[in-house]
Amino acid sequence: MTADHPLAESTALRQLHTILFDLWRFGSNALVGWRPSRLGIEIITLPKVRLFTDHGRHLPVFAEGSLMEGGKLDEAARLLEVQPVELRLETPIGPGPGEIAPALVERMFRLFTVSKTQHRAVLLLDIVGFSKASPEDQAAQLTTLEFSLNLAEEMARGHGLGVSFGRTTTGDGFYVWNERSGLRADIDFFCAVAIFQILFAALRRTATTAAAVPVLRLCLSIGSHFLYHQPRKDGSDGGAFIVGDVTIKVARLIGTAAPDQMLVGDFERPLGLGHKSCNTETFLSAVSERLASLKELRVLGYRIDRISFYLTGPRDAEGRHAPMLIRITDKHGFEHGCYNAKLNAFAEQGEPYYCGLQHTDLETR
């Protein structure tokens, strides 16, 4: 039986997972990079503590993708001051028949790595008054929230948006992010969040059990974070976790948000070419253009004709709203900038969906 047979390939991958899991040492080590070798596979690994305590010097090893062919593995090993470890495999790694495809190895290896993304959109959803609700109502509210996220993701993908939601629970809500990265992925994620808000507003309007559809407060921003997984011994993935500047920022901001409010962090994000970048205001303009291109978006059977997603502020001399930067000092004395955001969706029939607070609502707080 050769390794191109599904059963043989599965056996070879199980052997490789066992090796990687043992090197991972229940999460104390990070697997940094790998490359095929004559006898099997060469791997770089070191304690996670070392990786984090000097991450400025180690920054190149956090790049997405852990297959380091040629001299890249040796250069990473020199940077980290470690030696690659060569491990024998019964089945060779390669693109040919009877070999394990490198893409399969990479997918498995990524479960044991720590990566850093410099720019990614992250949403924090928080259920207002969650701790005061009964256990039954809490479970119902989280179920409604999860259903809405799942449906919004499916609708977004059905309309051509490149999104794949990752999420972790905070107990009374979720961190949500797009597992895809890049400028277009961030724009599409903001659009998917807009779809989620419209869906959730529709649920609140039509719910027969009001306690099951909670009041939310939301915070969106873009920034850097680390990502790591929790691989299980049986080969499955126990889930991904993110932590870093962007998660800290949305967590600090959400604590100041009012019920039904949506905050968007003050950020700059490169456009991908040269040194040009966009700020929160120009980024949201790109999101609005993308939303305008969506056709036949339907909620409760009715087409959404127009979506307005914007930052609020006082009116300028010409009567237009000028986005106002809000500065918040957290409990640790650090200052964070953000904007109040509003989303309005106009359907072909029925009342519009209004999400978020108006600027005048903030003035009365």
Q: How confident is the model at residue 252 (pLDDT cuts 50, 70, 90)?
A: very high
What mean pLDDT comes out for the span 19-27?
93
The β-bridge relationship of strands 277-279 and 165-169 is unpaired
pLDDT in tens, 265-323: 999 998 866 668 899 999 999 999 999 999 889 998 889 999 999 999 988 777 777 89
**Confidence at residue 152, expressed as pLDDT on a 0 to 100 scale:** 97
Strands 85-88 and 40-47 turn out to be antiparallel
User: Residue 320: CB partners within 8 Å, gap ≥ 6?
Assistant: none
**365 band by pLDDT with thresholds 50, 70 and 90:** low
Distances (CA, A) of 7 to 101, 188, 248: 14, 39, 45
User: Within its chain, how far is the Cα of 106 from the centroid?
Assistant: 20
User: Region 148-159: what's the mean pLDDT?
Assistant: 96
Which tokens go with 214?
A: 């909670």
* CB atoms closer than 10 angstroms to residue 264: 27
Percent of the chain scored above 90 by pLDDT?
A: 63
Q: Pick from 66, 166, 63, 60: which is nearest to 117 by CA?
A: 63
pLDDT over 80 at 1, yes or no:
no
Q: Do strands 277-279 and 268-270 pair parallel, antiparallel, or not at all (unpaired)?
A: antiparallel
Task: Note the maximum CA span of the chain.
Answer: 78
If you average pLDDT over residues 139-149, what whole number do you get? Answer: 95
Q: Which helix (H) or strand (E) is 356 found in, with range?
A: strand 353-356
Residue whose token pair is 């120009």: 282
- What is residue 55's predicted lDDT score, i.e. its pLDDT? 55
How big is the chain, counted in residues?
365
Averaged pLDDT, 148-153: 96
Q: 161: part of which helix (H) or strand (E)? A: none
Give the closest residue to 89 by CA, choosing from 145, 40, 32. Answer: 40
Query: Across residues 163-180, what is the average pLDDT?
Result: 94
259 or 3, which is more confident:
259
**pLDDT reading at 64 higher than 60:** no
Burial of 333: CB neighbours in 10 Å, binned 0-12, 13-18, 19+: exposed
Residue 361 reports pLDDT greater than 80? yes
DSSP E strands in the chain: the ranges are 29-36, 40-47, 85-88, 114-127, 165-169, 173-178, 216-231, 237-243, 262-265, 268-270, 277-279, 298-299, 302-311, 326-329, 335-347, 353-356
Measured at the CA of 54, the angle between CA 48 and CA 59, to 5 degrees, comes to 90
Give one word for 320, left, alpha or beta, with left for phi > 0 and alpha for psi -120 to 50: beta
Of 264, 179, 160, 158, give the one whose Cα is nearest residue 229: 179
pLDDT band per the 50, 70, 90 thresholds, residue 360: confident
| pLDDT for the residue 63 | 62
Q: Does the pLDDT of residue 3 top 70, yes or no?
A: no
Looking at every residue in the chain, the average pLDDT score rounds to 89
pLDDT class of 84 with cuts at 50, 70, 90 = very high
pLDDT computed for residue 128 by the predictor: 96
How large is the average pLDDT for residues 126-136? Answer: 94
DSSP string of 297-333, one letter each residue: -EETTEEEEEEEEEE---B-TTSPBPP--EEEE-TTS
- Of 107-116, 145-154, 203-212, 315-324, least confident by mean pLDDT is 315-324
pTM metric for this prediction: 0.89
Residue 238 has pLDDT above 90, yes or no: no
Beta partners for residue 242, in sequence order: 227
Domain residue spans of the chain = 6-111, 116-363
Helices 102-109 and 6-24, packing angle to 10 deg: 30
Cα 43 from Cα 35, distance rounded (Å)? 7
Give me the pLDDT at residue 275, please: 60
Pick the CATH number of 116-363 from 3.10.580.10, 3.40.50.720, 3.40.50.300, 3.30.70.1230: 3.30.70.1230
Cα distance between residue 92 and residue 166, in whole Å? 33
Residue 204 one-letter amino acid: R
Residue 6 has pLDDT above 50, yes or no: no
Q: Which residues contact 103 (CB under 8 A, 6 or more apart)?
A: none
- 71: Cα separation from own chain's centroid: 32
Comparing 10-14, 138-142, 225-229, the range with the smallest average pLDDT is: 10-14
> Are the C-beta atoms of residues 3 and 100 closer than 8 Å to each other?
yes
